[in-house]
Amino acid sequence: MEAEHPCPFSTLFIPLFLCLLLSFSLPVHSDDAAVMELLKQGIINSDSLGWSGPDPCTWKNVKCDRSKQVQVIQIKGMNLQGTLPKELRDLPALTQLEVQQNQFTGPFPSFAGHGSILIIIAHNNRFTSFPADFFTGMTTLQSLTIGDNPFSPWTIPESIVSATSLKTFSASSANLTGKIPEVFGTMVSLGELKLAMNKLEGELPQTFARSSIQTLWLNGQQGNNKLNGTIVVLADMASLTSVWLHGNQFTGPIPDFSMVKKLQDVSFRDNQLTGIVPASFVNLPNLRTVSLTNNLLQGPRPTFGVNVDLDMKPGSNRFCTENSGGTCDGRVNDLLSVVEAFGYPKTLAEDWRGNDPCNKWKGITCTGEVAIEYVDFQNMGLSGTISPKFSLFTSMLRLVLSDNNLTGTIPSELTKLPNLELLDVSNNNLHGKIPSFINVLVITNGNPDIGKESGEPSPPGSVDGSKVGKIVGAVVGSVGVLLLVVAVGFCLLRLKQKGSGKLRSPHTVVIHPRHSGDQDAVKITVAGGNVNCGANDAFSPRRNGPVPGDIHFVEAGSMVISIQVLKNVTNNFSGANILGWGGFGTVYKGELHDGTKIAVKRMESGAVGEKGQTEFMSEISVLTKVRHRHLVALLGYCLDGKERLLVYEYMPQGTLSKRLFNWREARLKPLEWTRRLTIALDVARGVEYLHGLAHQSFIHRDLKPSNILLGDDMRAKVSDFGLVRLAPEGNFSVETRLAGTFGYLAPEYAETGRVTTKVDVYSFGVILMELITGRKALDDSQPEECLHLVTWFRRMHLIKGTFQKAIDPTIELDEEAVASISTVAELAGHCTAREPYQRPDMSHIVNVLSSLVELWKPAEPDAEDMYGIDLDLPLPQALKKWQAFEGTSPFLPKGDSAQTSIPTRPSGFAKSLTSEDGR
Ligand SMILES: *[C@@H]1O[C@H](CO)[C@@H](O)[C@H](O)[C@H]1NC(C)=O
Ligand SMILES: *[C@@H]1O[C@H](CO)[C@@H](O)[C@H](O)[C@H]1NC(C)=O
Ligand SMILES: *[C@@H]1O[C@H](CO)[C@@H](O)[C@H](O)[C@H]1NC(C)=O
């Protein structure tokens, strides 16, 4: 040993002897008999084993190989108590250890580095820990079954990867924690993995896709965090025959199983799986048991083969119908096809019950009970891409996908949506070129890569959509976007008129990402939360600041409504309550405790300009006085800081434009001619009244079907009058002050901004043409020469014999109708005369139309008496009562309709209050 000293035999021998002696008591090596003796001693009730004599090879349930080394120990189900010695790993020939179903306790011995062991079965005992180094160098082990032991918490060690022969790993109810290691995917032999009833968390490892696992049991994880994420990886596990995932928190859809042909037993119950159950699953040839109860599965209820033992409790998913073989409503199918691209989000699946998306489905707003008009998926934590299938929603006016994590591009299919007005995709991760939308407000700010990948510089001189966007961005400043739309459109119209023939769609406005701090100016989406009109002082007339010596002011004070009330009734300005985008702001539906509905217009901050509160209030006080049965009544307002809110009566049947142009999508009947005539007369009377007001002659400036609202009796009222007076003055001169919408603008107004009552007459003439033809003032779907209704209409009217072709084909034409229509056509022609002085007054129009209405409805009692709110109604008092009531409980829970202390409301107020919509 020590090289420096000579080494006599005796000095060599003694240490060698000692070494040999010592080796018997060291675990490094021992003779099998000694180890077996240790095993026997560790078992308290070893008598029952019948182990006697010195040679373990003669013991019951022990087998040795030819060289007398212990090979197999099988002592299962014998109620044995005690511990297993750590020296078991010193049985070099041991291939099989079966100690299951006993009451062994203490630590389970390590077999690290053992070179022979093939099978270890130790489940259903009371082992208290599992060794961390167990798998190290364990290259021979094929089967390990250790479930149902009260191990102290442990995680599957990464070293399991060295157990390259492992076919079965079964450790259910074994107090396993942590994640399922990715290394399972590299264990090519692994066929059975049972880790049920542990405390595992996290997602399925992606490496499962490369595994040859046949049996995968991960059900019933017990911790606070169960297994989660999607189960898409199963689609690639081609060997799978049995998969139990029940009792976890898996989300997302059941994947395509067409690669997983051998699947027999599937248990997915008690998770949060969403989406349509794929046919590739339902039609698997070898299915025996399927359990799907308590998930959020959507679409039609799947019909499995008769041989399948099925657990799928009725009502425990989100199937559109519980009828086997039943089909879903087309709208449901369409919606599911678009949310598929978002991975069927859980939040939507939870909320979307039944077969009618118009029945309060999250994010979906309908009109006419059937037509999906507004899809609002703002801030829903969505990922994935925007499906081109959104183009299926032909009735959709607004699509809001802002504040999510969407990737990919904006599909060009969306440009085909005929009625789309607004596409808001701000604050996502979209990239690529923005398709060319026509007549759509597209908001894309907050997408760092949007518009990139283009690289093609636009040829000098041409004005394309994106350039327009930049102009917009540059000009915007703090001015409201809606005004800008008008302003830019106006400039473009001018360009077009000067012969820049390239511009077919003058009012495409694209708002590009901006990096300055004035996001608010660009981002039109409603924020909802941060309104701070004082709730305390809102119930009384404001007495701060200079009080003008105008009696209107004091009266107007009683029309002030607190922001808290408006927040309560609009569900905190929720997107679902949006009725429309009217001139200058967003209109929300509100509902009072008694079910009375109101329309709340929240003005864009830029739209009302720099007008001070006092000035604003005096304007509003005038508007609140303008009352006529054919004008939508302004019921009150709220203002504070930059917030300005106007409260209107609600008109339940929505806009004339919907009835006239979108009736198919809304699944409504087309309007009969007599109705159209009555509506025209209603509008004419409302406008006549506006024009005739003493001192304060009002010119509407923006008459169009989307500003004409209908009540339940289909009588019409004009909305949004007078708002132009609130627009900013000064710097922006004509353009910003120009309201109006292309197609309805009188030529002199468009060219010079000169405004007389004849501007409204012109717009009214265009509306008459629309009523006759059922076509929009500007119809992009028409060939160039028919694009502009007025021009086309005049041409059709001039050429004898062609006019009948211009009449809306849905109108039933008899002799009387033809005569009536031709009179109105004549009138429409006069109204749209080139020179203002050639156009008639509204009073003349009212005369012509009322004579026609009388012709049609000679027997009807005076409709005027039957209709409308009571104009003598003491509205301010009514509002006061209402506010006083609201004021006593400003935080009344939503939907509390059980309130009994509702003050008696004036009947007219409640009866006719309602909707607004516009562009
Ligand atoms: C898991 O370990 C914890 C902590 O040691 C223990 O309290 C619990 O009883 C164990 N659970 C099981 C099922 O053995
Ligand atoms: C899954 O659960 C873990 C906690 O175990 C959590 O951190 C993670 O966000 C969850 N993932 C999903 C997709 O819910
Ligand atoms: C958004 O998506 C990207 C790409 O899929 C991902 O890397 C990122 O973590 C996601 N962000 C959030 C907040 O989910």
Is the domain of 120 the same as that of 233? yes
The residue whose CB lies within 8 Å of the most ligand 3 atoms, and thus the one to mutate among 379, 429, 447, 449, is 429
| Distance (Å) from CA 650 to ligand 3 centroid | 42
- The number of the ligand nearest the C-alpha atom of 179 reads 2
H or E element that contains 824: helix 815-831
| Domain match, 745 and 816 both | yes
Determine, yes or no, domain membership for 890. no
Lining ligand 3 with CB less than 6 A are: 383, 405, 407, 429
With a cut of 60, say whether residue 873 has pLDDT above it: no
The minimum-distance atom of ligand 1 relative to the CA of 175 is 1
- Which of 467-481, 641-655, 767-781 reaches the highest mean pLDDT? 767-781
Write down the pLDDT at residue 363.
92
What mean pLDDT is predicted for residues 145-159?
Answer: 94
Per-residue confidence band for 615, with pLDDT thresholds at 50, 70 and 90: low
| Main-chain dihedrals φ then ψ at residue 48, nearest 5 degrees | -65, -15
- Return the ligand number nearest the Cα of 148: 1
- The larger pLDDT score, comparing residue 643 to residue 835, is at 835
**What's the pLDDT score for residue 23?**
40
Q: How far is the CA of 66 from the centre of ligand 3 (A)?
A: 62
Model confidence band, residue 779 (pLDDT cutoffs 50, 70, 90): confident
465 and 573 in one domain? no
| Top mutation candidate among 108, 152, 177, 221 for ligand 1, by most atoms within 8 Å of CB | 152
Query: Which helix (H) or strand (E) is 619 found in, with range?
Result: helix 613-625
Distance from C-alpha of 524 to C-alpha of 133, rounded to nearest angstrom: 60
**Does residue 283 sit within a domain?**
no
The verdict on the CB of residue 223 being under 6 Å from ligand 1 is no
Q: Which token pair is 221?
A: 């994880």
In a domain? residue 278: no
Q: Determine if ligand 2 sits within 6 Å of the CB of residue 228.
A: yes
pLDDT for the residue 658: 86
| Of the listed ranges 37-46, 267-276, 387-396, 732-741, the one predicted with least confidence | 732-741
Of 36-45, 165-174, 377-386, 482-491, the range with the lowest mean pLDDT is: 482-491
Ordered DSSP codes for 22-54: HHHHSTTS--HHHHHHHHHHHBTTGGGGT--SS
Verify that 392 and 432 share a domain, yes or no: yes
Q: Is the pLDDT of residue 780 over 90?
A: no
Average pLDDT score over the chain: 76
Ligand nearest to C-alpha 175: 1
Collect contacts of 26-33 with beta carbons under 8 A, ≥24 apart.
Answer: 27/86, 27/87, 27/90, 28/90, 29/90, 30/87, 30/90, 32/56, 32/64, 32/68, 32/69, 32/70, 32/91, 32/93
Ligand nearest to the CA of 149: 1
Residue scoring higher pLDDT (652 or 459): 652
Distance 153 CA to ligand 1 centre (A): 6
Q: Tell me which residue has its CA closest to atom 4 in ligand 1.
A: 152
pLDDT of residue 442: 82
Ligand 2 pocket member 229 (CB < 6 A): yes
- Residue bearing the CA closest to ligand 1, atom 6: 152
150 Cβ closer than 6 Å to some ligand 1 atom:
yes
Residue 64: band (very low, low, confident or very high) from pLDDT cuts 50, 70, 90: very high
**Whether the predicted pLDDT of 667 surpasses 50:** yes
Task: Point out the ligand nearest to the CA of residue 346.
Answer: 2
Residue 320 domain-assigned (yes or no):
no
727 in the same domain as 804: yes
CA of 769 to the centre of ligand 1 (A): 80
The β-bridge relationship of strands 643-649 and 634-640 is antiparallel
Q: Which residue's C-alpha comes closest to atom 8 of ligand 3?
A: 405
Give yes or no for residue 534 CB within 6 A of ligand 2: no
Ligand 3 atom with minimal separation from the 381 CA = 14
From 180, 206, 225, mutation site for ligand 2 pocket: most ligand atoms within 8 A of C-beta: 225
CA of 448 to the centre of ligand 3 (A): 13
The confidence score (pLDDT) of residue 741 equals 66
Cβ 175 under 6 angstroms from ligand 1 = yes
The pLDDT of residue 14 is above 60: no
Q: Are 427 and 402 in contact (CB under 8 A)?
A: yes
If one residue of 230, 385, 405 were mutated to test the ligand 3 pocket, choosing by the most ligand atoms within 8 A of its CB, it would be 405
- Ligand 1 centroid vs 82 CA: distance in angstroms? 20
- Beta bridge mates, 716: 710
Q: How far apart are the first and last CA of the chain?
A: 100
> Closest Cα to atom 7, ligand 2: which residue?
202
Whether residue 611 is contained in a domain is answered as: yes
The rounded distance, in Å, linking the Cα atoms of 893 and 907 is 25
- Structural domain ending residue among the three candidates 435, 455, 477: 477
pLDDT of 622 strictly over 80: no
138-142, 170-174, 225-229, 480-484: range with lowest mean pLDDT: 480-484
Residue 803's pLDDT is what?
Answer: 84
597 and 488, same structural domain? Answer: no
Per the DSSP assignment, residues forming a β-bridge with 385 are 407
413 and 468 belong to one structural domain: yes
Query: 10 CA distance to ligand 3 centroid (A)?
Result: 76
Same domain, 486 and 473: no
Higher pLDDT, 409 or 732: 409
Q: Residue 429 C-alpha to ligand 3 middle, in angstroms? A: 8
CATH number at residue 376: 3.80.10.10
Question: Which residue has the CA at smallest separation from atom 9 of ligand 2?
Answer: 202
Q: Atom 14 of ligand 3 has which residue's CA nearest to it?
A: 405
- Look at residue 416 and tell me if it is in a domain: yes
Residues 516 and 454 reside in one and the same domain: no
Residues 520 and 613 in one domain: no
Evaluate if residue 669 carries a pLDDT over 70.
yes
Considering the domain architecture, whether residues 445 and 528 belong to the same structural domain is answered as no
Ligand 2 midpoint to CA 226 (Å): 9
Tokens at 13, concatenated = 């021998």
CA nearest ligand 1 atom 14, residue: 150
Q: Is the CB of 202 under 6 A from ligand 2?
A: yes
Q: Ligand nearest 252 Cα, by number?
A: 2
> 341 φ, ψ to 5°?
-70, -15
- For residue 450, the enclosing domain spans 331-477
Instruction: Verify whether ligand 1 is closer than 6 Å to residue 153 (CB atom).
Output: yes
Statement to judge: residues 830 and 686 lie in one domain: yes
Residue 183 CA to ligand 2 centre (angstroms): 20
The ligand 2 atom at the shortest distance from the C-alpha of residue 226 is 5
The predicted model gives 82-91 an average pLDDT of 93
* Cα-to-centroid distance, 236 and ligand 2 (Å): 22
pLDDT tens figures, 644-658:
888 888 998 888 988
The pLDDT of residue 287 is above 50: yes
Please state the atom number of ligand 1 nearest to the C-alpha of residue 151. 14
* 637 lies in some domain: yes
Cα gap 518→478, rounded to integer Å: 7
CA-based radius of gyration for the chain: 39
How many domains does one find in the chain?
A: 4
**Ligand 2 centre and the CA of 295: distance in Å?**
18
CB of 152 closer than 6 angstroms to any ligand 1 atom: yes
Atom 13 in ligand 1: which residue has the minimum CA distance? 150
Where among 249, 270, 291 does a domain terminate? 270
Query: Strands 192-194 and 215-217: what pairing?
Result: parallel
Q: For 555-567, what is each residue's pLDDT tens digit?
A: 334 577 888 888 8
pLDDT band at 845 (very low <50, low <70, confident <90, very high): very high
Ordered alpha helix ranges (H), 352-480:
465-476
Output the pLDDT for position 724: 61
On whether residue 607 sits in a domain, the answer given is yes
User: Taken in order 421, 662, 744, 492, is the CA torsion positive or negative?
Assistant: positive
Higher pLDDT, 578 or 872: 578
Confidence of residue 264 (pLDDT cuts 50, 70, 90): very high
CA–CA distance from 542 to each of 69, 625, 879 (Å)?
A: 101, 18, 16
pLDDT of residue 538: 28
**Which residues are identified as catalytic?**
702
Q: End of a domain among 518, 533, 548?
A: 533
The residue whose CB lies within 8 Å of the most ligand 2 atoms, and thus the one to mutate among 228, 231, 249, 250, is 228
Q: Which atom of ligand 1 is nearest to the CA of 173?
A: 13
Do 671 and 660 touch, CB atoms closer than 8 A? yes
Mutate to test the pocket of ligand 3, among 230, 342, 379, 383 (most ligand atoms within 8 A of CB): 383
| In contact, 610 and 550? CB cutoff 8 Å | no
- Residue 177, ligand 2, Cβ within 6 A: no
Most confident of 299-303, 508-512, 660-664, 738-742: 299-303
Average pLDDT over residues 225-251: 95
